[in-house]
Amino acid sequence: MSPSRPDDAPRPRRADAERNRAKVLAAARALFAEGGDSVSMDEVAHRAGVGIGTLYRHFPTKEAMIEAAAQQRFGEIVEYYRTSCRETAQDAPLEALHLLLTHIGEVEARDRGFASVVEGTLGSEGPPSEMRADLEAELMDLVGKGQAAGTMRPDLAGADILAITCGLTAIVHRRTGDWRRYIDIVLDGLRSS
């Protein structure tokens, strides 16, 4: 007898369906980065090497595809923090934050076209709430470590770091200044006096 599954629980995707979904998202991100919002669903399906029906089974609308691609990219940033910054945060919280902010700046600079599509479609609400909560928890831990070590301002909160990332992405997207200099200035302002 197989284990029962609640009626409202989503069915797990087959391996081939998961591969097709990943190919569609990779194609969508690349095409939106190159061509902005004018990219069609047909172009995405063609670049991904899947039929249009396969694309629509995964993403019934262009907006759903853009949202999934944005969630994927944000998830990659959270994973970058966990794999490349978290250990550094143990001994050097400001260095870990510098690594994270630099990575975000590089991702945003590389994907300006995609970022524009995301903002135009989903607005500037920020990352999805579950992923945002994950990153905010990591940042609160980072700030706590910095405050305990006496290297970060005592009035700093994890949400402040998210606001700093919003400023960073705005500078990158609008090309209103040197985003690397912005990071240096911000980090100087976060140091305890």
Would the pLDDT of 4 be above 80? no
Per-residue DSSP letter, 14: P
Q: Is pLDDT of 188 > 60? A: yes
- DSSP labels, 147-170: HHTT-B-TT--HHHHHHHHHHHHH
% the chain with pLDDT above 90: 59
123 dihedral zone (left: phi>0; alpha: psi -120 to 50; beta): left
* Residue 59: strand, helix, or coil: coil
CATH topology of domain 63-190: Tetracycline Repressor; domain 2 (1.10.357)
Domain boundaries, the chain: 14-60, 63-190
Using 50, 70 and 90 to split pLDDT, how confident is the model at 3?
A: low
- The pLDDT tens digits of the residues spanning 32-45 come to 988 888 999 999 99
Q: Once rounded to an integer, what is the mean pLDDT over residues 10-37?
A: 86
Topology, domain 14-60: Arc Repressor Mutant, subunit A (1.10.10)
H or E element at residue 104: helix 93-110
Picking from 71, 77, 69, the residue whose alpha carbon sits closest to that of residue 32 is 69
Q: Kindly tell me if the per-residue pLDDT of 157 is higher than 60.
A: yes
Q: Is the pLDDT of residue 84 over 90?
A: yes
How confident is the model over 96-107, as pLDDT tens digits? Answer: 999 999 999 999
Confidence at residue 74, expressed as pLDDT on a 0 to 100 scale? 87
pLDDT of residue 176: 93
Nearest to 70 by CA among 34, 109, 123, 106: 123
Question: Do the domains 63-190 and 14-60 match in fold?
Answer: no
| Segment among 14-18, 65-69, 80-84, 95-99 with least mean pLDDT | 14-18
**What type of residue sits at position 79?**
E
